[in-house]
Amino acid sequence: MKKLLIILFAAFTSWSCVDDCTQTRTYRATVPFQVGIEQVRAGISTEGPQDLVKPGKIYAYDNYLIINEVKKGLHIIDNTNPSSPVKLSFLKIPGVIDMAVRNNILYADSYTDLVALDITNPKSIKEVGRVRNMFNYGLVDGISWYYDPYSKIVTDYEFKTVTQTVSTNCGQNGTVWPVFRGGVAFDSFQGNTNSSGNTSGGTGTGGSMARFTIHDDYLYAATQSDLLVFSIKTGQKPDSVNKINLGWGIETIFPYKDKLFIGSNTGMYIYDNINPASPQRLSIFQHARACDPVVVENDKAYVTLRQGWCGAAPNQLDVVDVRNLGSPFLIKSYQMENPHGLSVLNSKLTVCEGKYGLKSYDAKESTDLKLQQHIKNIHAFDVIQLNDKLLLMIGEDGLYQYDNSDPKNLKLLSKIEVKK
């Protein structure tokens, strides 16, 4: 009997350690938060210069460079001397992802609203117009925010490093797996702006990941399913004039001459923009499901397809013949490593390869693209070739500016680093 009591006591002691054993876990997680819409609308302000922390899209206007701090605001930078850019201010805009500028009026999304801001004085930016409730849902690399019009609450997610102490079974069952909140484990770069190739009439230029662009007196905003058209003739408050359903999975928009090239998860849409208030669809170039920005020069469109949350197609670059806009066809596909944004100017093609760096190509012959240079050990998300002498590139680790006079030898002019 005494031996039995000793055995039972030992068993109880062993079992109770399940409650006593703990383990500390540190992991990245999507953490939900909520904010009232009136708080969002009161949240725009001009602040002093800040460090880059999580850069998104880039936009060039006059001698200014605008960098999106994802869903936080916009860095306004004096880029008169690309070798020595100067941070001027930080424009706090809750929920901002995209922007476009015309005649010193900056248009940006702020969760549900489209806002217009006068940036004549970049150190004292003023709101001059707002169109409410144009966007009810947003998506950045698979992580969405949404707006409940009844409660007037925006629900969003942010990425945090979480340290948590939990009870364990004293190591009896092997590996303890981390918990990812919000349903998604996330460890890639976010972002998405406007790649216009159109700098006339006081309009700036953005990158190939754009959802905003400007043509004539109209601003276009691509949502996940629609093309929203706004008149900006007055230069102040934009007026909503049209909403065109595009189908689900819309990602980017690129204007070229009087056409709009729209990238989606499943293909490239081509719209005739002769009547800017009412673009008309001409054709669709379909491809396997993938992340899909597009740029165009002359009669060639360049489309990168990337594996990721938006699809599992092969990583590749498609060159598409668009001479007949009603019947585009594939010329050739080129294998890539993980292509993101891209830019083409005077047959100089530059492709961002994510963590695999930046590549420049000679694109004079579409059936024989020639690699000129591959810059490794950097992260490349999106790129703008402003002219034959200046190339802007944004990535996880900061903004790079290159002299691209010689595509075989891109020369680094400056870098604005992300705060570690």
Percent of the chain at pLDDT above 90? 71
In a domain, 105, yes or no: yes
Residue 309 CA to residue 265 CA, distance in Å, equals 10
Asked whether residue 353 is domain-assigned, the answer is: no
Return the pLDDT at 236: 73
The answer to whether the CB of 97 falls within 8 A of the CB of 115 is no
Q: Say if 323 falls within a structural domain.
A: no
Residue position matching structure tokens 């998860």: 265
- Residue 20 has what pLDDT? 55
In this structure, what token pair is assigned to residue 131?
């169109």
What whole-number distance in Å separates Cα of residue 369 and Cα of residue 262?
23
Tell me, what CATH number does 45's domain have?
A: 2.40.128
The tokens for 324 are 């007949």
Which helix (H) or strand (E) segment holds residue 393: the answer is: strand 391-395
Are 60 and 386 in contact, with CB atoms under 8 Å apart? yes
Nearest to 212 by CA among 88, 68, 343: 68
Q: Alpha-carbon Rg of the chain, whole angstroms?
A: 24
CA dist., res. 268 & res. 222, Å (int): 13
Give every residue of the chain whose pLDDT is below 50, as ranges. 1-19, 172-201
Six-digit token string for 151: 């409660």
Q: Report yes or no: 392 and 65 within 8 Å, Cβ to Cβ.
A: yes
Q: Which two tokens stand for residue 136?
A: 């009810």
* pLDDT value of residue 312: 60
- Backbone conformation region of residue 156, classed left if phi is above 0, alpha if psi is from -120 to 50, else beta: beta
pLDDT for 201 equals 47
β-bridge partners, 405 = none
What is the pTM (predicted TM-score) of this model? 0.85
Yes or no: say if 344 and 295 are a contact pair by the CB < 8 Å rule: yes
Sheet with 398-403, side-by-side order of all strands: 382-385, 391-395, 398-403, 411-417
User: Which domain, by its residues, includes 36?
Assistant: 27-166+181-191
| Half-sphere exposure for 78 (CA within 13 Å, toward CB) | 12
Residue 334 lies in a domain: no
Confirm if 34 and 154 have CB atoms less than 8 A apart: yes
The number of residues in the chain equals 420
DSSP state of 388: S
In a domain, 140, yes or no: yes
Q: What is the pLDDT of residue 199?
A: 38
Residue 295 to residues 60, 156, 158, 195, 263, Cα–Cα distance (Å): 17, 31, 31, 8, 9
pLDDT attached to residue 314: 82
Give the pLDDT confidence score for residue 309 in this predicted structure.
54
- Which residues are bridge partners to 342 per DSSP? 351
Residue 101 maps to a domain: yes
CA distance 211 to 252: 5
DSSP letters along 273-333, please? -SSTTS-EEEEEEE-SS-B--EEEETTEEEEEEB-BTTB---SEEEEEE-SSTTS-EEEEE
401, 415 in Cβ contact below 8 A? Answer: yes
> Is residue 72 one of the residues assigned to a domain?
yes
DSSP 203-238: B-EE-TT-SEEEETTEEEEE-SSEEEEEE-TTSSS-
Query: What's the number of domains the chain is made of?
Result: 1
CA–CA gap between residue 41 and residue 200 (Å, rounded)? 31
How far from the centroid of its chain's Cα atoms is residue 67's Cα? 11
Q: Is residue 148 part of a domain?
A: yes
Neighbours of 143 (CB within 10 A): 18
